[in-house]
Amino acid sequence: MFGLIGKMRAAPGKRSDLIAILGESTEAMPGCLSYIVAEDASDPDGIWITEVWDTEASHKASLQLPSVQSAITKARPIIAGFDMSVKTTPITGV
């Protein structure tokens, strides 16, 4: 399995809009086992994204899906930055 955990920052006051956009493109991503978007409790513009994929190749392929490309285009103007990102190897969980 392949995992990613990352923190994204929305433009001030745009976190809800960015979360909505991120949620639009997650229905049909082959190989995606989990895609969780969470608000950062201590940062009003922070968003944490936790992903689990069957393989890293599936994750890379998802970035070419029309729905994901559309979400990236919509989201780009309200993304203030990326604070951190780590690759993981999920072992167990639900």
The model's pLDDT over 64-92, given as tens digits with 9 standing for 90+, comes to: 999 899 999 999 999 999 999 999 999 99
Confidence at residue 12, expressed as pLDDT on a 0 to 100 scale: 98
Query: Residue 47: inside a domain, yes or no?
Result: yes
13 domain-assigned: yes
Q: List Cβ neighbours of 28 (8 Å cut-off, separation of 6 or more).
A: 65, 67
Whether 64 is covered by a domain: the verdict is: yes
Q: How far is CA 82 from CA 16, 57, 66, in A?
A: 16, 22, 23
Which CATH number covers residue 71? 3.30.70.100
The SS3 of residue 16 is helix
pLDDT surpasses 90 at 15? yes
Among 70, 1, 8, which residue's Cα sits nearest to residue 37? 8
Residue 10 in any domain: the answer is yes
The whole model's pTM is what? 0.90
Residue 21 lies in a domain: yes
The answer to whether residue 36 sits within a structural domain is: yes
pLDDT at 27 over 80: no
Q: For 67, how many CA atoms within 13 A lie in the half-sphere containing its CB?
A: 11
DSSP 63-82: TTSHHHHHHHHHHGGGEEEE
Which of 93 and 79 is assigned the larger pLDDT? 79
